[in-house]
Structure 1
Amino acid sequence: MAKLNISDEWWTAPAEADNGNLIMVTGRKGLQNVIDTGKYVYRIEMTWPYVPDATGMPGIDDSKTMEAVQDAIDDTFGHDPVAVVTGIYTGDGKRDWVFYCRSLNIFQRKLNEALSGFEALPLEFHAYDDPGWEEYREMCQAEVDSSD
């Protein structure tokens, strides 16, 4: 069986929280082939609440740790794509990662493996059945056309 080709092309666009604060949305492009497998049916939202600076963004220390967490996630799921990060939302005092995965149990095991080198992180998780990738499709509407 051929390895699934998962795009590493991303876009970033500003959005607005319900209270008017800035949210930077980063979305992964080109995932139709992953959607078409019909295997990535669970959406996991991983949230890291933080004390925001005056603009609602994380401070330097949180930003550095979040970047290291992202690198660990990319490395782990890049080698074993049981889950795909589809979007990252940062602002208004929290960072949200959105994953689509094949198995909740395997996702949990692989994420624990990815984060094993970190001290306890203030992460919150929510899981949803989303075989139609509704959140992903909605997020993609925020993409700004580079020709604009």
Structure 2
Amino acid sequence: MRLSDKWFTALSENDNGDLVTIYGRDELTEFMQSGKLKERVEITWKYTPAEQGMPSEAEAERMEAVEEALRKAMEKDKLAIQTSVYTGGGEKIWVYYTRTVRVFGERLNDALKDFEQLPITIYTELDPEWEEYQDMYEMKQWAADE
């Protein structure tokens, strides 16, 4: 299976009516159907919103460095695949689907060891049908229709 680096952007709102930018990965059908990546991991970084609920420029740069380190560590052997990123309303959420949460956690700690302590929380859930991804992917069509 070849991992695409094709992404789309869509806009939505959170429960508070804040603007949220959705960055979703395209061309993941083979991974979804393989049944190998059954566990979803959501990494959330809460921040003090700057303009329009987005992170400050300095915080956005830190987030980008963290995201790059995580993707590199998780996707090098397809242990996990980043499927989407939500930013807005005072939080950034990275969503991954992984083969094993235990190894994901070990690799996450290793990937982030050179960063100072980060304001992140981690949530995991079994999602063998990729329901979160499919819900997010519907945003691609809405974005295309606008």
Q: Decide: shared fold, TM above 0.5.
A: yes
Which of the pair is proportionally richer in helix? 2
Letter paired with 2:133: Y
Partner of 1:110: 107
The share of aligned pairs that are identical, in percent, is 39
User: 67-76 vs 25-34, which deviates more?
Assistant: 67-76
- Select which of 5, 21, 24 maps to 2:21: 24
> Which 5+ residue runs of structure 1 have no aligned equivalent?
none
Residue 90 (1) aligns with residue 96 (2): no
Relative to the length of structure 1, the TM-score reads 0.93
Tell me the SS of whatever aligns to 2:52.
coil
Moved over 6 A (4+): none
- Relative to the length of structure 2, the TM-score reads 0.94
RMSD of aligned residue pairs (Cα, Å): 1.2
Contact 2:74/2:104 (CA < 8 Å) preserved in 1? no
What is the deviation of 1:74?
A: 2.1
Per-residue deviation, 1:80: 2.2
Partner of 2:137: 140
Q: Distance in 2 between matches of 1:28 and 1:90?
A: 15
Q: Hey, what's the Cα distance between the residues in 2 that align with 1:121 and 1:47?
A: 10
Alignment-derived partner of residue 60 in structure 2: 63
Residue 48 of structure 2 is aligned to residue 47 of structure 1: no
Aligned residue pair count: 144
Contact 2:13 2:20 in 1 (8 A): yes
Q: Which amino acid counterpart does residue 70 of structure 2 have in structure 1? A: I
Q: Partners in 2 of 1:27 and 1:12 — Cα distance?
A: 6
User: What residue identity is the alignment partner of 1:73?
Assistant: L
